[in-house]
Amino acid sequence: MSDFIPVNEPLLGGNEKKYLLECIDTGWISSEGPFVKQFEELFAIRVDRSHGIAVANGSGALDIAVQALRLEPGDEVILPTFTIISCAASLVRAGVIPVLIDADPVTWNMNVEQVAERITVRTKAIMVVHIYGLPVDMDPIVELAHQHGLKVIEDAAEMHGQRYNGKPCGSFGDISTFSFYPNKHLTTGEGGMLVCDDPELAERCRSLRNLCFQTKKRFVHEELGWNYRMTNLQAALGLAQLERLDEFVLRKRAMGERYTALLKEIDLLQLPLERTDYAENIYWVYGLVLDDALTFDAEEAMNRFAANGVGTRPFFWPMHEQPVFKKMGLFAGESYPVAERLARRGFYIPSGMSLSELQAERVAGVVKKVLS
């Protein structure tokens, strides 16, 4: 269907082509090229951090964060159950025990009030994940981490340009991570970044990203790393996108406000919260949650949207309900009712950077049709 409205389309109309051509003209296409360093430096400055380490994707950034912080088998890390599998996978692969927290029904972020009761003598870190457009309430997390001597890994994959009480998301973790997948506010096709302030930690992340090659004896390894390097081609895109980040945030906020104006009269539908005391939504995606009074679930709703030419994506499926983790014997008997409900009743509608006002209006029309 030619007038199908995809769930996401990036906007690449700035200096992307110019910088990519520069890569081709100069022959710098690998991770050794100059754009990588430039992108790392400018991105780190943008989030008020001293160091940026560009990587192949946001999932790899989390793998590196867990190992860089020397989390070990048997350590516990607290994280939300309502998130992408990359978060829990980075822990499970390292033998670290993921300890889950339910979601908040209004912000969809982790329920910060539940964190303290899950801290044990084995807890070593809290992995915070900002979900869909609003940041997690960071002050209580930072205070708990301080009180108990815990590290904070801040997964800011969805939060480019977002702020918590005026401070950039990505400035709160011992290590914070980002993704640059094309549905993000800033894309490099595939890509990610770790940011931190400690120079030794930054060096360790750089080494883990690059197979832990050594400077003196290159092919002699003291530790196992990954090849998670970002190419100069990706960084070229990233630089061009970073130049427009403020504009992208404004575009997405305008999209979110437009959708809310169009949809707020509809009963039986929960829309994203516009703001909290500490942040304005940046609408990474515009999520909808069906009221329990509706007889159909998110899956049926998404089928109906597809039949009307509108792309959607389901909400995250909770970690404690993942078959892969159940097979490993993880989370047996655990239940997190808010996340379970969000997974079954929630999905998001087209929220990409290229969405036009006309498309948003058409999508809103389909929402009304599908729900009636």
Q: List residues near ligand PLP by CB under 6 A.
A: 57-59, 83-84, 86, 129, 155, 157-158, 179, 181, 192
DSSP structural state of residue 24: H
Is the CB of 44 or the CB of 269 nearer to ligand PLP? 44
* Residues facing 167 on adjacent strands: 164
Cβ 199 to ligand PLP shortest distance, Å: 25
- We find the least distance from the C-beta atom of residue 225 to ligand PLP, in angstroms, to be 17
Instruction: Check: CB of residue 210 under 8 Å from CB of residue 81.
Output: no
Please say which residue, 81 or 263, places its beta carbon nearer to ligand PLP: 81
Q: Indicate the residue among 157 and 205 with the shorter CB distance to ligand PLP.
A: 157
Burial class (CB in 10 A: 0-12, 13-18, 19+), 15: middle
Instruction: Output b/e per residue, 71-110; b: 16+ Cβ within 10 A.
Output: beeebbbbbbbbbbebbbbbbbebebbbbbbbbbeebbbb
Q: At 5, list the tokens.
A: 């409205």
The C-alpha atoms of residue 21 and residue 318 are separated, in whole angstroms, by 42
Q: Smaller CB distance to ligand PLP: residue 88 or 288?
A: 88
Q: At closest approach, how far in Å is the CB of 241 from ligand PLP?
A: 14
Min CB(7)–ligand PLP separation in Å: 13
* 8 Å CB contact between 337 and 105: no
Residue 5 phi/psi, 5-degree rounding, is -100, 110
If the CB atoms of residues 99 and 128 are measured against ligand PLP, the closer one turns out to be: 128
Sign of the CA dihedral running 107, 108, 113, 115:
negative
Give the shortest CB-169-to-ligand PLP separation in angstroms.
11
* Position 79, amino acid: L
Closest approach of ligand PLP to the CB of residue 62, in Å: 6
For residue 194, the cross-strand partners are 53, 177
Instruction: Return the number of the residue (75 or 158) whose C-beta is nearest ligand PLP.
Output: 158
Closest residue by beta carbon to ligand PLP: 58
| Smallest separation (angstroms) from ligand PLP to the CB of 181 | 4
CB of 262 to ligand PLP, least distance (A): 25
DSSP secondary structure letters along 152-207: EEEE-TT-TT-EETTEETTSSSSEEEEE--TTSSS--SS-EEEEES-HHHHHHHHH
Would you say 23 or 110 has its CB closer to ligand PLP?
110
Question: HSE on the CB side for 353, CA within 13 Å?
Answer: 20
- Residue pair 29/253 in contact by the 8 Å Cβ criterion: no
Q: Which two tokens stand for residue 145?
A: 């981490």
Nearer to ligand PLP, 58 or 133 (CB): 58
- Provide the minimum distance between the beta carbon of 227 and ligand PLP in the complex, in angstroms, as a whole number: 15
Of 223, 182, 220, 188, nearest in space to 206 by CA:
223
Rg (CA), the chain: 21
| Six token digits for residue 273 | 């919260």
Q: Which is nearer to ligand PLP, 81 or 86 (CB)?
A: 86
